[in-house]
């Protein structure tokens, strides 16, 4: 975690954190990143991409409820699932509406030989060498009659 780009960004993040706390979230500790537990839906810290040193944590009764919570978001870049169960890993890959599912690693994992990108409001298309070539290529059809 590093400094935000400008004072306005810092003020926005602070505002979102205070909004979440006012709505019932609990601040865990006083460090950076700011960790918020029990952030309710409707709070921008939960519903939007904070782009700041904030982590929101919410308890769910089981893994299916966790998948539902992820899918309820309008965003869908990448998700991480930490599990010892191969069945749970495959269920996450099948159920989660995101651009990539990373098992037992942080969602920022990336390899340039693999497609990277999101779904829903987390972007269009994919990044990576193959996708860059496709993006910069115009495919045309030509017909030549004798």
CATH number for position 79: 3.40.309.10
pLDDT at 43: 96
Instruction: Reply yes or no on whether the pLDDT at 32 is more than 90.
Output: no
Instruction: Reply yes or no on whether the pLDDT at 23 is more than 80.
Output: yes
Q: Are residues 32 and 102 in the same domain?
A: no
Question: Domain boundary residue among 26, 43, 59?
Answer: 59
Q: Are residues 84 and 146 in the same domain?
A: yes
Instruction: Reply yes or no on whether the pLDDT at 2 is more than 70.
Output: no
Q: How far, in whole angstroms, is CA 76 from its chain's centroid?
A: 5
Confidence of residue 122 (pLDDT cuts 50, 70, 90): confident
Q: Are residues 69 and 137 in the same domain?
A: yes
Buried b (16+ CB within 10 A) or exposed e, 55-92: ebeeeeeeeeebbeebeebebbbbbbbeeeeeeebebb
Q: Are residues 40 and 65 in the same domain?
A: no
Q: Are residues 95 and 31 in the same domain?
A: no
pLDDT tens digit sequence for 49-96? 898 999 999 999 999 999 999 999 999 989 999 999 999 999 999 999
Residue 20: name the closest of 43, 38, 54 by CA: 43
Structure tokens at 83: 């599990």
Confidence of residue 136 (pLDDT cuts 50, 70, 90): confident
Range of the domain at 31: 1-59
Specify the number of domains making up the chain: 2
């Amino acid at each position: 975690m590093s400094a935000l780009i400008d004072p306005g960004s810092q003020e926005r993040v602070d505002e979102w954190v205070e909004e979440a706390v006012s709505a019932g979230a609990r601040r865990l500790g006083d460090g950076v990143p700011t960790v918020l537990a029990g952030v309710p839906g409707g709070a921008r810290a939960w519903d939007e991409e904070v782009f700041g040193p904030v982590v929101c944590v919410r308890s769910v009764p089981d893994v299916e409820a966790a998948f539902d919570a992820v899918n309820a978001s309008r965003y869908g870049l990448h998700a991480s699932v930490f599990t010892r169960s191969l069945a749970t890993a495959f269920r996450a890959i099948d159920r989660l509406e995101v651009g990539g599912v990373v098992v037992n690693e942080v969602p920022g994992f990336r390899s340039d030989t693999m497609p990277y990108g999101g779904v829903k409001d987390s972007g269009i298309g994919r990044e990576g060498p193959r996708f860059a070539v496709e993006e910069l290529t115009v495919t045309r059809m030509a017909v030549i009659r004798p």
